[in-house]
Amino acid sequence: MIPVKGYEGRKVAVLGLGRSGLATAHALEAGGAEALCWDDGQEARERAEGQGLILHDLNKGNAWEDVSALIVSPGIPHLYPEPNKLIARAMDEGVPVDNDIGLFFRSFADQEWDSFDTLPRIVAVTGSNGKSTTSALIHHVLEHAGKPTQLAGNIGRGVLDIDPAHDGEVVVLELSSYQTDLARSLTPDIAVFTNLSPDHLDRHGGMGGYFAAKRRLFAEGGPDRAVIGVDEAEGSYLAGQLSEGAADDRVIRISVDRKLSGPGWQVFARKGFLSEYRKGRQIGSVDLRAIKGLPGSHNHQNACAAYAVCRSIGLAPKVIEAAFRAFKGLPHRSQLVGEADGVSYVNDSKATNVDSARAALGAFDNIRWIAGGLGKDGGIECLSDALGNVTKAYLIGHSAREFALQLGDVPYEICETMENAVAAAAQDAQSGDTVLLAPAAASFDQYPDFEKRGEDFTRLVQDRLQDM
């Protein structure tokens, strides 16, 4: 646990008692603050009370007396589409609003660091797609190289729930726009921007607000080094803002769209080969084509970002390449869950929007595509140019018939359920095919979350393979 500094002997309200909220309350108390906890859900309040935390109804008239700050969980809106009523109340009362990320950055450093030979560092990863895989891959490479490291944030443990740092440790944080938007303190040593595509736009008041939330990690965080994906205009703009000139190697530009050139530091992947250039000369390369844990150009972008971070930490290209080859991938993200008779079964349940589904569809040939669920605005119409590798689609869930109308000439079958889809796709599949779950839709019509959907697919596949 990281005890929170700066609130000793003061009252701090905590709104939202999920994983991060509970960890925040305990970390505040460990730092000498009095945590006043509230959640609109009775079950969450009972769980907090069972952990010995103080419940404090923030709806009451005198609830804000002597409260020094309000710490909110990331899922609670503070501005768009409209502020949560208790956050609005805090603002009216002049109470500062923060989140666990802000508390972490102000509290992580400790006096024990004075005795360390190498100061701990924080790598913070944000972006629309790939940030979980990128964060996990950086963490994996560091572990493989024997470096002390912890993984936290939007993946792994809550940021305040990690252990105090060791000498030379690298803490890798995955940070969503919800987290970077509100944090009052953002001071990573290395910050990563993977890419940007439309997402959470209602929460940020549009694309500009969404980008602004990501940009805070760099503009206000002031990292020593920034790794920036420049395949979108926003990334190019951000890299230009942070750089003092073409040769400024504090900014490492990454791409999977084109070869990057110039006197600065670049890492890019083309046709499955990752290349590192510095001062106009190639100084490293990795053949990504045979690495099963990193299939497709979207994972090659993740590899470029992770490679750039690990190089800036001082790891050699061969060390990074060896770790890449041992990476198994993350559950529900292009996860190979089984192979039989030349047919591969891949779980990409995390592909909940068309951009992530497009990336998955571009990673494999001869695809038996399981898609559908609770579709988003526009359905899959914009994927028409990405279906060249799809042999047949097997459609499930609420949007199955809507998706069918948007498939053009691609053969399809309305399967309704995951069980029917897996059975039909496996029956049709031939050697060389990939049965791919990449729904391009949310899961909430049939599953509580994308993880449960992916677990159901995996279970059905593995049960079927065991019976063969």
The residues spanned by each domain of the chain are: 11-98, 103-325, 335-462
Q: Distance between CA 459 and CA 453 in Å, rounded?
A: 10
Provide the 10 A C-beta neighbour count for residue 258. 10
What is residue 50's predicted lDDT score, i.e. its pLDDT? 95
Name the residue with tokens 């790598």: 123
Residue 131 annotated as lining a ligand binding site: yes
Q: What is the pTM of this model?
A: 0.88
Predicted pLDDT of residue 462? 96
Contact (Cβ atoms closer than 8 angstroms) between residue 125 and residue 116: no
Q: Which residues have C-beta within 8 Å of that of residue 19, sequence separation ≥ 6?
A: 158
Looking at the DSSP bridge assignments, the partners of residue 251 are 226
How far is residue 58's CA from residue 87's CA, in Å, rounded to a whole number? 10
CA distance 14 to 6: 15
Q: CA 444 → CA 15, 181, 351, 416, 451, distances in Å?
A: 25, 26, 14, 14, 11
Alpha helices in 326-410 (DSSP H): 354-361, 400-404
Cis status, amide bond into 148, omega within 30 of 0:
no
| Per-residue model confidence as pLDDT tens for the chain (468 residues) | 999 999 999 999 999 999 899 999 999 999 999 999 999 999 999 999 999 999 999 999 899 999 999 999 998 999 999 999 999 999 999 999 999 999 999 999 988 999 999 999 999 999 998 899 999 999 999 999 999 999 999 887 899 999 999 999 999 999 999 999 999 999 999 999 999 988 788 999 999 999 999 999 999 889 999 999 999 999 999 999 999 999 999 999 999 999 999 999 999 999 999 999 999 999 999 999 989 889 889 999 999 999 999 999 999 999 999 999 999 888 898 899 999 999 999 999 999 989 889 989 998 999 999 999 999 888 999 999 999 999 999 999 999 999 999 999 999 999 999 999 999 999 999 999 999 999 999 999 999 999 999 999 999 999 999 887
130 among the known binding-site residues? yes
The answer to whether 347 is a known ligand-binding residue is: no
Helix (H, G, I), strand (E, B) or coil at 362: coil
Distance CA 441, CA 445 (A): 10
Q: Which CATH architecture has domain 103-325?
A: 3-Layer(aba) Sandwich (3.40)
Structure-token pair, residue 159: 């940021």
| pLDDT score at 372 | 97
Would you say domain 11-98 falls under CATH 3.40.50.720? yes
pLDDT for the residue numbered 346: 95
| Alpha-helical runs (H) found in 67-148 | 85-93, 100-107, 131-144
Query: Coil, strand, or helix at residue 367?
Result: strand
Dihedral class, residue 379 (left if φ above 0, else alpha if ψ from -120 to 50, else beta): left
DSSP code at position 22 = H
The answer on whether 180 is annotated among ligand-binding residues is no
- Distance of alpha carbon 275 from alpha carbon 297, whole angstroms: 14
127 is in an annotated binding site: yes
Structure tokens at 75: 């899922």
Distance between CA atoms of 435 and 393, rounded to whole angstroms? Answer: 10
DSSP per-residue codes, 9-20: T-EEEEE--SHH
- Give the homologous superfamily in CATH for domain 335-462: Mur ligase, C-terminal domain (3.90.190.20)
On whether 132 is known to bind a ligand per the annotation, the reply is yes
